[in-house]
């Protein structure tokens, strides 16, 4: 009965305007070169496995491979039942502590990667964009090799000069389709920024709740000298670090809906 009541409470909390939307999820490696880039790839796998286990669809939109291992950045879309509503509180800094597989002396390293989640806006929401505020660049897509590498400049990068936003897409072979995807991402980012501006006063009033910002560390993943994943906002934690990194994060998502 208690568990059923918790589920009802969570459903009642998923009532914001954008909670029903699909989610764009960006991961960026922090300072630290190969260590952080490998951590960014581990996070990418975690969210893809989460989507697979919970019947969400996932699609890689942009993928910037690291020089030696891992990724510099990756952008994906996760679509399905209230995917943004569940994932919206994942935005922030994720911290990993482990024995580095890249250190011949087997020393313990701390790595950071940032995650940002924003909604795919509904087609009915009008976002005005002036073409003179845009810089559009095309380039040759990169990927894992073989058929994933295009032979033409099909990838698209759009920079909004006023908002200082950069989005890019290279998942499609068509430059036109990549441009459409990038514009959809840009409109979603602008929409989220404007909503945040409107809610700024409300957020100040909710002083009992910790704001989730781009620069705030939200979760620690410790693999050495013990195994534990702990959310620093809700204090929800588990010793099953391997399970979490394999996509079992639903308990963390629900905890943030209730407590954050």
User: Domain holding 69: CATH number?
Assistant: 3.30.70.1660
Q: Mean pLDDT throughout 134-146? A: 76
Lowest mean pLDDT among 129-143, 144-158, 177-191, 218-232: 144-158
Dihedral sign computed on CA atoms, order 238, 251, 78, 59: positive
The owner of tokens 């701390």 is 110
Residue 252: predicted pLDDT: 96
At 156, the pLDDT band (50, 70, 90 cuts) reads: very high
Place of tokens 């534990």: 228
Q: Which helix (H) or strand (E) holds 152?
A: none
Pairing of strands 134-139, 155-160: antiparallel
Q: How far apart are CA 219 and CA 235, in angstroms?
A: 9
> Residue 222: which domain range?
2-202+211-259
What is the pLDDT confidence band of residue 9, given thresholds at 50, 70 and 90?
confident
Q: Establish whether the linkage from the previous residue to 225 is cis, with ω within 30° of 0.
A: yes
Q: 165 - beta bridge partners?
A: 160
Radius of gyration of the chain (CA): 19
H or E element that contains 165 = strand 165-169
From 50-64, 79-93, 95-109, the region with the lowest mean pLDDT: 95-109
Strands 108-119, 237-238: pairing kind: unpaired
State how far the Cα of 25 lies from the Cα of 244, in Å rounded to an integer. 18
Ramachandran region, residue 48 (left: φ > 0; alpha: ψ -120 to 50; beta: rest): alpha
CA angle 73, 76, 80 (to 5 degrees): 155
For the chain, what is the domain count?
A: 1
The phi-psi region of residue 237 (left if phi > 0; otherwise alpha if psi is between -120 and 50; otherwise beta) is beta
């Amino acid at each position: 009965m208690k568990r059923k009541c918790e589920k009802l409470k969570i459903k009642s909390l998923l009532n914001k305007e954008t909670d029903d939307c699909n989610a764009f999820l960006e991961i960026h490696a922090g300072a630290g070169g190969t260590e952080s880039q490998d951590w960014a790839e581990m996070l990418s796998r975690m969210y893809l496995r989460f989507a697979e286990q919970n019947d969400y669809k996932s699609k890689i939109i942009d993928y910037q491979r690291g020089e030696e291992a891992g990724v510099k950045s990756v952008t994906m879309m996760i679509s399905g039942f209230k995917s943004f509503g569940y994932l919206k509180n994942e935005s922030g800094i994720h911290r990993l502590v482990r024995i580095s597989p890249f250190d011949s002396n087997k020393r313990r390293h701390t790595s950071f990667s940032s995650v940002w989640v924003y909604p795919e806006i509904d087609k009915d929401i009008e976002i005005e964009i002036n073409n003179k505020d845009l810089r559009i660049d095309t380039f040759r897509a990169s990927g894992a090799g073989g058929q994933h590498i295009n032979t033409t400049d099909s990838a698209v990068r759009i920079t909004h000069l006023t908002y200082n936003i950069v989005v890019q897409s290279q998942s499609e072979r068509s430059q036109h389709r990549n441009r459409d995807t990038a514009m959809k991402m840009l409109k979603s980012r602008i929409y989220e920024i404007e909503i945040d501006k409107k809610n700024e006063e409300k957020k100040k009033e909710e002083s009992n709740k910790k704001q989730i910002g781009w620069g705030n560390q939200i979760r620690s993943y410790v693999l050495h000298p013990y195994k534990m994943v702990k959310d620093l906002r809700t204090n929800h934690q588990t010793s099953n670090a391997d399970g979490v990194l394999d996509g079992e994060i639903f308990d963390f998502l629900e905890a943030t809906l209730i407590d954050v």
